[in-house]
Amino acid sequence: MKKQVYILFFILLYSGFNLAQQNAINIKATLNVEEDKLMIQQEIVYTNTSNQELNHIFLHNWGNAFKDRKTPLSKRFIQDFRKDLYFANQKDLGFSDIKNITINFNNIIYKELENKEDILQLFLDKPLKPKESTRINVTYILKIPNSKFTGYGKYNNGYRLRYWYLTPAIYKDGWQLMSNLNLNDLFEDYTTFNIQFKLPNYLNLTSSLKQQKPNIDGVYTTYNLYGKNQKDVILDIQRKNTFKKFHTDSHEIQTDILQEDFNENITKVILNRELSFLTSYLGVLPTDKIFIDEVMRKQNPIYGLTQLPNFIRPFSDVFKQDLTLFKVLSKKYLQQTLLINERKDYWLIDGLQNYLMIEYVNKFYPEIKLLGKASNSWFLKRFNISKLKFNEKYPFVYQFTARRFLDQALNTPADSLSNFNRRIVSKYKAGLGFTYLKGFLSEAILNKSIKEFYQKNKLKVTNDSDFKNILTKNTSKDISWFFKDFIKTNKKIDYTIDKVKETNDSLKVTIKNKRNITTPIALYGIKNKEIKYKEWFTNVSDTLTTTLPKGKFDQIALNYENIYPEYNTLDNYYNVKRKLFNKPLKFSLIKDVKAPNYNQIFYQPSFGYNFYDGLILGVKLHNKPIIKRNLEFKISPGYATRSKMINGSFSVAFNQFFEETNIYKIAYGITGNTLQYAPELSYSSLIPYVDIQFKRKSLRDASTENLRAKIVHINKEISPLETKTDQDNYNVFSLSYNYINPDIIDETRYSFTGEVAKNFSKISADYRFRKLTTSDTQLDFRVFAGVFLHNKSEGDYFSFGLDRANDYLFELNYYGRSESSGIFSQQYIITEGGFKSVLPTRFANQYMLSLNSSIGLWRWVEFYNDVAFLKNKDQYLFFGYENGIRLNFIHNIFEIYLPLYSNNGWEVSQEAYPQKIRFTFTGDLGSIYNFFRRGFL
C-alpha cells in the first residue's frame, strides 16, 4: 500500500511539474480480450501555447478511422485499390465509443467533424486564454481493429497498438487537423504520459515508454508506463514476447525486427556504431530509449536490399541487418525528436533520413554494388546495372520516374502523392537534395547546418523554414533555387555539353540549359577514368562557355558523380579523342540501365503464338533501356514453327511530353506487322498514328484519357483460286477517344470511335460500368451503339459483329481469327455486340444497339444477361437475347462463359454444348501489368 502511495505521489508530482510546460495525458485502460476492446478513462491537461484565445479544442481520434466504409481511411484504401476495410466483417472493424467528455468536471458539447469521423471538436464553455490550461476527461471504449489493415491492431500473437488514444491537435497558424490515412504521420505535440494498463496475466506488454515493475493481482497484471517529451506511444501486447532489449553505450533499444539466429553481440556492436554515427551528424540525442517494431520495418523497407530472392543471397547477413536497423533507427529517431508536420513537410524528415543512409553506406560499405554479390554472376556481370554502386539507386529511381513525368514537387502534401512517389521517389529525391547541397556548398557547411538545425529544434515544433534560415546563415552562396524550384516544383534539371571547340591550346566548352530551371551544375575533366578537374557553375539559364586546357583530359562531362538528380544524363559526355562516333554502338542483352559512353541497342528473345503460325520464336532489337527515352524503336523478326514463315513487327515512336498544358504527352509513330491470319495466308499492316494522352487530375487518380488518330493500311494474301477484292487491300482512317477510370468500387470506361474508308464510314460508342455493391456483389453493365453513315461494302466483313468482331483493323489478340469451329473459335473478346451465343443473325450492316449485363452470385460466379437490336439492309430489325453463367476469375483477362438460354432455346440441352462455351484469355503482358499496377504508379 505504501509503495502504491509513493507511485501515485510520483505520478502527480511528475504531471504537475510539467503542467505549465507541455500537455499531460493520464490513462487508465483495461483490456477485454474476449471482445477485443479497451475500456479507457483518459485525462488530458491541455495548455494553450498559442497567442490566441481558443473557443474550442480538437482531438485526434484515429482509433475511430476503422469504424465503417465511409471514413477517410476506407476511402483512401479504395483509391489504393484495397477493399479489405470497405468489405470487412464487423468483428474486424475498430471504433471509439465515447461515453462521456467533461472539461474541468463539467459536461460539454462535442461532435465528430463531418466526413472526418476520426476528429472530435470540443466546444468550451469559456475561452481558453494563452498560457492557460484546462483539464479534459474522457471515458470511452476502443474496439481494436484487425491488424491486416495497417499492421496495427489484433494479430495472431496479441495486439499492436498505435494511435490508440485521444490526443489534442496542435494549434500553430490555425488548427493542424488531419485524418488517419495510413501514412503514420500524426502531428502530435510532445506530452508527459502516465498510463496504467491492465491486462490478463498470460499477456506481456512492451512499449515505447518507460515502465515500472508490473503489479500482479489475481489473473490480471497492471503495467505503469510513464514518459516525458513523448509522442506516438506504441504498445505491443503479446502472448509470446518477441522483443529483445539492448543496452548500448548511450541508449536502450527495444525491437523485434532482428533475425532469430542473428548474433546479439554483433547486433549490439552494430547499434553502437549506428548511434555513434547519428550523434556525429546530429549532435547529442535527447532521448535514451528507442522502440522499433516489426510493422515499422515493413513500412520502411530498403528497396534493392530485399527485392532479390533469398536463395541468391546477394548480400551478407551483417549488411542486411545493419542497413535494416539503421533505416528504421534513423527514421524513428528523427520522427521521435523533431516535431514536424509530416503531412506538409515530409521532405525534410525523409531528406535527412535518406541523406544519413547515403552517408552511412558511403562510409562503411562503399564497395557494395546495387545487386550485391549477384553482380559477379556469369549472367548479370555483363549488364551495366551490375556495375552500379548501392547508392546509385537514388538517382536511377528518380530518373526512372522523371522521364515519365510522374514525379511530384517535394512540397506536395503527403496525402496527395502517388503511392510510388510517397513510398520511394520523393524520399529519394529529398535525400539527393541534401547530397546536392553537400556537393555545392561543401560537406562541412551542410553537416554543420544539419547539426545546428537539429540541436536548436529538437523536441520543438519546427519546419523547413527553420532549416532554410540556418543554411542561409552558414553560407554566402545563393541557395534560393533549392527552396524554390527544387523543393516547390517538379521542374527537371537537364544540362548538356552543347559543343566543344578546340584551339591550339584550349577547349572551349559550351554548356546549354535544355529546360526551365536554373540550378548549379558541375563540370568535370576526366583522364583515365579519374577526375582531374571539377568546377561548379551557377546562373546558367541559357548557355555558358568556359575554357579548359587542351591535352589533359580524355573526356569532358557534366554531373559525372551523379551529385544532383537530372532528367537526362545521356548527353552529358564529350570524348576529347575524336572518333568516328562520339559514342560507339553497343549491343546489350535484354533491358539495362543507360551507358552514357555508348549508343545502346538491346536484344532479347521474343515469343508469340497464333494457331496458323504456331510458336513464333524471334529476337527483339530495340533502344528502350529501363529509363524511358523520347525516341524509341523496335524491330522484332521471328520464325514461325508451324507455317515455316519469317514474320514479325516493327515500331518507331517519338514521345513529346508537356508540363504546362492539360496534355501529358503526344506520341507520333508508325507500326508495322505481318502474321498469318488463315492457313498459309498472311497479312501485313502499316499504321502511322498520333496518340494524345491527357493528364490525370492528380497522380493519385488512376484514370486515363486519350485521343488517337491513325491510318490503317491492310494488305492480305488470298488463295490462288480467289479474286482479290476491296476486303483484301484497304485503308481505314480511325479517330477514337477513350476514357478509363478503373475504380475498384465504381469502374467506368467509355470510348467513341469514327472510321472512314473508301466504301464505308461509321461511328460507334462503347460504355462500360462495373460496380461492387455494399454486399460485395459485382454488377457489370455495358452498352454498345454503332451506326453506318454510309456503307457500299459487300458482305459482312466491315459490319458490326454480335458475338465476334471481324477485327478488320487487326487490333484484337485472336489466336485463331479465321476459325469457325474448334477451341479457337470459342475465344471471346468483349467488343461490339458482346454476345456469347452464336445466333442466326451475327452481323449488322446498318446499325446495332446492344446491352450486356451481369450480376455476381458468389465470389467469381456471375449471371449474365444480354439483349441487342440489329438492323441489316432490306431486312427486318432483329432482336437478340441470351443469358448464362460467367466465371469471372480475372476481369477481362481470364473468364469463362457458359450459355444457358437464348434465341436458340435452351443451349445446355442442345448437341455439342461444350463447343458453345466461350472463354476470355489474354497473354498480353501489357494488359496483365496494367491490371496489377493499379494504384501504384
DSSP states of 491-533: PPP-EEEEEEEE-SSEEEEEEEE-SS----EEEEEEETTEEEE
Give 417-449 pLDDT, tens digit per residue. Answer: 999 999 999 999 999 999 999 999 999 999 999
To which residue does cell 498514328 refer?
A: 689
Task: Please report the pLDDT score of residue 635 as a whole number.
Answer: 96
| pLDDT(533) > 90 | yes
Distance of alpha carbon 735 from alpha carbon 712, whole angstroms:
11
From the list 59, 85, 72, the residue with the least C-alpha distance to 167 is 59
Q: Under a CB-based contact definition with an 8 Å cutoff, are residues 322 and 305 in contact? A: no
Strand, coil or helix: what is 677? strand
Residue 11 has what pLDDT? 42
Query: Count of residues for the chain?
Result: 937
In the numeric block, which cell numbers belong to residue 599? Answer: 549508343
Where in 370-504 does DSSP place strands (E)? 495-502
> What's the CA gap between 269 and 249, in Å, rounded?
10
Is the pLDDT assigned to residue 1 strictly greater than 70? no
Greatest extent of the chain over all pairs of C-alpha atoms, in Å = 110
Q: Specify the range with the lowest mean pLDDT, choosing from 201-210, 592-601, 762-771, 786-795.
A: 592-601
Mean per-residue pLDDT, 46-74: 96
614 φ, ψ to 5°? 75, -150
**pLDDT band for position 936 (50/70/90)?**
low
According to the model, what pLDDT value does residue 17 have? 40
Number of H helices and E strands in the chain, helices first, is 14, 49
CA distance 27 to 233: 12
Whether 930 has a pLDDT exceeding 80, the answer reads no
Angle at 275 between CA 271 and CA 280, to 5 degrees: 150
Alpha-carbon distance of 855 to 342, in angstroms, equals: 43
Q: Specify the higher pLDDT residue, 238 or 1.
A: 238
Confidence of residue 312 (pLDDT cuts 50, 70, 90): low
Q: What is the pLDDT of residue 260?
A: 77
- Any bridge partners for residue 600, and if so which? 586
If we measure between CA atoms, which residue out of 119, 99, 103, 98 comes closest to residue 44?
103
CA distances from 362 to 272, 390, 391, 428 (A): 18, 9, 8, 16
Q: How much is the pLDDT for 890?
A: 87
Contact partners, residue 399, CB within 8 Å, separation at least 6: 565, 566, 567, 568, 569, 627
Over residues 701-728, the pLDDT tens digits come to 989 999 999 999 999 999 888 888 989 9
DSSP 651: E
pLDDT at 649 > cutoff 60:
yes
Beta carbons within 8 Å of 535's beta carbon, 6+ residues apart = 522, 523, 546
- For residues 609 and 641, what is the distance between their CA atoms, to the nearest angstrom? 10
C-alpha 796 chain-centroid distance = 46
Maximum average pLDDT range among 79-83, 586-590, 658-662, 785-789: 785-789
pLDDT score, position 12? 41
Average pLDDT, the chain: 92
C-alpha cell at 850: 446492344
Split at pLDDT 50, 70, 90, the class of 928 is low
High-pLDDT (> 70) share of the chain, %: 95
Query: Which parts of 695-774 are beta strand (E)?
Result: 704-716, 729-741, 746-757, 760-772
Cα 432 from Cα 439, distance rounded (Å): 10
Instruction: Select from 189, 158, 183, 151 the least CA-distant residue to 50.
Output: 189
**pLDDT score of 10:** 40
Q: Which residues, in sequence order, are bridge partners of residue 195?
A: 27, 225
Show the CA angle centred on residue 365, arms to residues 362 and 370, nearest 5°.
90
Whole-structure pTM value: 0.90
- Does residue 803 register a pLDDT over 90? yes
**Residues 6 or more apart in contact with residue 361 via CB below 8 angstroms:** 323, 368, 390, 391
* Helices 443-457, 264-282: inter-axial angle, 10-degree rounding: 100
919 touches 856 (CB < 8 A): no
Residue 593 banded pLDDT, cuts 50, 70, 90? confident
Instruction: Report the 10 Å Cβ neighbour count for 36.
Output: 18
Q: What crossing angle do the helices spanning 264-282 and 317-337 adopt, rounded to 10°?
A: 40
- Per the CB < 8 A criterion, the answer to whether 275 and 250 are in contact is yes
Sheet with 573-575, side-by-side order of all strands = 530-537, 521-527, 555-558, 573-575
Q: Is the pLDDT of residue 284 over 50?
A: yes
Mean pLDDT (whole number) for 892-914: 94
Least confident of 24-33, 182-191, 623-632, 873-882: 623-632
What is the distance in angstroms between the CA of the first residue and the CA of the last residue of the chain? 61
pLDDT at residue 578 in the model = 64
User: Taking residues 477-494, what's their average pLDDT?
Assistant: 96
Sequence-distant (6+) residues with CB within 8 A of 83 are 77, 744, 745, 772, 776
Residue 302 burial (CB count, 10 A): 18
- The mean-pLDDT minimum among 2-16, 309-323, 741-755, 765-779 falls in 2-16
Residue 687 has pLDDT above 60, yes or no: yes
Residue pair 98/121 in contact (Cβ under 8 Å)? The answer is no
Q: Stretch 409-419: mean pLDDT, rounded?
A: 96
What's the pLDDT tens digit per position in 813-833?
Answer: 999 999 999 999 999 999 999
Residue 568 DSSP label? -
- Distance from C-alpha of 378 to C-alpha of 380, rounded to nearest angstrom: 6
Distance of CA 27 to the CA centre of its chain: 38
pLDDT, position 262: 84
pLDDT at 363: 97
Residues with Cβ within 8 Å of 171's Cβ and at least 6 positions away in sequence, in order, are 48, 49, 50, 52, 54
With the CA atoms of 888, 892, 893 and 899 taken in that order, what torsion angle do they form, in degrees rounded to the nearest 10? Answer: 50
Overall average pLDDT of the 656-682 stretch: 94
Give me the mean pLDDT over the 917-921 stretch: 94
pLDDT score, position 922? 82
Question: Over the range 798-815, which residues count as b (16 or more CB within 10 Å of their CB) and which as e?
Answer: bbbbbbbbbbbebeeebe
Q: Which cell numbers in the block locate residue 643? A: 507455317
The rounded distance, in Å, linking the Cα atoms of 467 and 430 is 14
| Eight-state DSSP code of residue 443 | H
Cell of 150: 495497417
The pLDDT of residue 710 is: 98
- What angle, rounded to 10 degrees, do the helices at 342-364 and 464-473 form? 50
Half-sphere exposure of 281 (CA within 13 A, CB side): 21
Considering only CA atoms, which of 572, 555, 434, 583 is closest in space to residue 514? 572
Crossing angle of helices 393-402 and 426-441, rounded to 10°: 120
* Stretch 26-38: mean pLDDT: 98
pLDDT value of position 906: 96
**Model confidence band, residue 235 (pLDDT cutoffs 50, 70, 90):** very high
How many Å apart are CA 779 and CA 835, to the nearest integer? 17
pLDDT tens sequence across 359-398: 999 999 999 999 888 888 888 888 888 889 999 999 999 9
pLDDT for residue 589: 81
Which has more pLDDT, 599 or 165? 165
Which pLDDT score is estimated for 931? 60
Distances 554 to 496, 522, 575 between C-alpha atoms, Å: 18, 17, 6
Does the structure show a pLDDT above 80 at 583?
Answer: no
C-alpha distances (whole Å) from 196 to each of 6, 10, 189, 217, 465 are 15, 14, 21, 14, 39
On the question of pLDDT at 48 being above 50, the answer is yes
Q: How far is CA 630 from the centre of its chain?
A: 23
**Could you give the C-alpha distances from 518 to 412, 492, 524, in angstroms and in order?**
21, 10, 19
The Cα-based distances of 157 to 92, 153, 237, 241 in angstroms read 16, 11, 8, 9
* CA 370 and chain centroid, separation: 21
